[in-house]
Structure 1
């Protein structure tokens, strides 16, 4: 009898380009679940080339049901800590080589279009938007988009998808002749 091991999925990650413009975030990460023990290894592996060996990670426990103290990653162990004072939408990763990497954490159940917008916004060089601000802006954008879609659906179900109403003349308006264009 042989056992098969499921392949590890790569981390869904968007990083700021290397530049001198420092921002509040170094990018965004969109995990597939709320299981830190399963999600940290591919994240640490993906960041290794740019930030070196990730040795410590801090999170806010309000977003993670279980925060393990240690997670085995390829060739080493990552120590995980939690702070309730830390922005709940941000993860801080530390390495000996580069220092610190701050990532926006996009909830796993986020719609792909919204996740793409957040990943792009978090990776803008020199951005001064904090993780919580990006998430609240995206929530507001999502509400506006849902409202617009429901208004459009209501318009179409009420017969509004047909021809637009005819233009009505404005009462009291008069034509003003333009110079060089005599009125006939």
Structure 2
């Protein structure tokens, strides 16, 4: 079960997570200690991200559901957010972000109800040849990600 939804612009964890952590901390008035992500669903996953005078650990898990991201706090229950695939068109994504009747539904049920597409794996997770073909230099890589649309995407849980 999920507690909300998030629609990132890309699969780049280093670029996407700082804003999400700040928004979740502010909205829930909690202090995030750890963010859990599925390793193969994200690119550029740092070990830690600075947030309001502290370092938030980022946990990379191979056996986690790639469709969710989990927040662990200093106090209280964890929060699980459904990750709306970055390439999703505005209509279905916004419907999920504003959905009111998803309480108690599984991730598969939510995706079916909202008709969201399954999220393909990011382009850099593949064979060694595929990775080398996309590699730009020692500091980064070239991907096939589209530029973000002009639609404003909320970065806090729904």
- Give the gaps of 5 or more residues in structure 1: 1-23, 142-184
The equivalent of 2:32 in structure 1 is 54
CA distance in 2, matches of 1:62, 1:52: 28
Work out whether residues 25 and 131 of structure 1, in 8 Å CA contact, stay in contact via their aligned partners in 2: yes
Work out whether residues 36 and 70 of structure 2, in 8 Å CA contact, stay in contact via their aligned partners in 1: yes
Q: TM-score, normalised by structure 1?
A: 0.56
1:116 maps onto 2:71 in alignment: no
Deviation at 1:63, TM superposition (A): 1.5
Work out whether residues 102 and 110 of structure 2, in 8 Å CA contact, stay in contact via their aligned partners in 1: no
Matched residue of 1:116: which SS?
Answer: helix
Q: TM-score, normalised by structure 2?
A: 0.64
Deviation at 1:55, TM superposition (A): 1.1
CA distance in 2, matches of 1:47, 1:25: 14
**Length, aligned pairs only:** 117
Q: Which structure: larger Rg?
A: 1
The equivalent of 2:6 in structure 1 is 29
Deviation at 1:73, TM superposition (A): 1.9
CA distance in 1, matches of 2:108, 2:51: 28
Alpha-carbon spacing, 1:69–1:120, altered in 2? closer, same or farther (3 Å) = same
CA distance in 1, matches of 2:115, 2:66: 15
1:127 maps onto 2:103 in alignment: yes
Q: CA RMSD in A?
A: 2.4
- Give the gaps of 5 or more residues in structure 2: 118-158
Aligned equivalent of 2:21, options 44, 48, 51: 44
Task: Return the structure number with greater relative CO, CA threshold 8 A, min gap 6.
Answer: 2
- Judging by fraction of residues, say which structure has more strand: 2
Deviation at 1:139, TM superposition (A): 4.2
Alpha-carbon spacing, 1:75–1:85, altered in 2? closer, same or farther (3 Å) = same
- Judging by fraction of residues, say which structure has more helix: 1
CA distance in 2, matches of 1:126, 1:111: 20
